[in-house]
Amino acid sequence: DALGRAGLLDGRRCTTHHTVQDELARLYPRASVARDALYVEDDRIVTSAGVAGGIDVALHLVTTRHGPYAAGQVARAMLVHAHRDGTAEQVSPLLRRRSHVDETVHRIQDLIETRFTERLPLSLLAGAAGCSERTVTRLFRRATGLTPLAYQTALRLERAEHLLGRGATAEVAAREVGFADARMLRRLRTRATAS
């Protein structure tokens, strides 16, 4: 309501809680109310559909400014296991693969997320988890649907996409996420797009 009174919704897309969307549209006819959206970002104005939508907005802003890894850390600290964008399901492997309850796998994921730019042999993950390499692979795949290496690669690709979106060259993005060169990054991006 404060944004509307200040005239900041005029000519902009916005949203609010579904129970007051009609009232918002009536009070501010120059605003374009997006029905049933979790949040809407229009230029520098961001509106949400209530408190839960506000959490999604906060994670969206952290992702935009600091990357998906930072948003994942914030989400975990807040005990939020999924971040949704304004209109679609969350696509981040970092958050999507955290909805399980296997604490051993969560520990392995913590290690991978903290050191995803490094080479992480299965023996190192097994040592950190206190179980065999075979058990790590079995538990990890059962909980996340991925192998530990595939999970690490997904995190690297996600971070690389973020860097590319902020203007980094493929070479810089590749090195930043732990790939030897841009060729590997390009190959993995092509494969991810095709799948």
Return contacts of 116-122, CB within 8 angstroms, 24+ apart. 116/69, 116/152, 116/155, 116/156, 116/159, 116/177, 116/178, 117/156, 117/176, 117/177, 117/178, 118/178, 119/178, 120/148, 120/152, 122/148, 122/149
Class (C level, CATH) for 100-195: mainly alpha
Beta strands in 27-134 (DSSP E): 32-33, 39-42, 45-48
Rounded to an integer, what distance in angstroms lies between the CA atom of residue 152 and that of residue 136?
14
Burial of 154 (0-12, 13-18, 19+ CB in 10 A): buried
- Over residues 74-103, the pLDDT tens digits come to 877 776 645 555 553 334 556 667 778 899
- Over residues 146-181, the pLDDT tens digits come to 999 999 998 899 888 878 877 889 999 999 999 989
What is the residue-averaged pLDDT of the chain?
85
> Would you state the pLDDT for residue 136?
97
Report phi then psi at 180, rounded to 5.
-65, -35
The residue ranges of every structural domain in the chain are 2-49, 100-195
First to last CA, the chain: 44
Amino acid of residue 151 = Y
Average pLDDT over every residue of 57-68: 82
- Over residues 26-35, the pLDDT tens digits come to 999 999 998 8
Claim: this prediction has a pTM higher than 0.85: no
DSSP H or E segment with residue 13 = strand 13-14
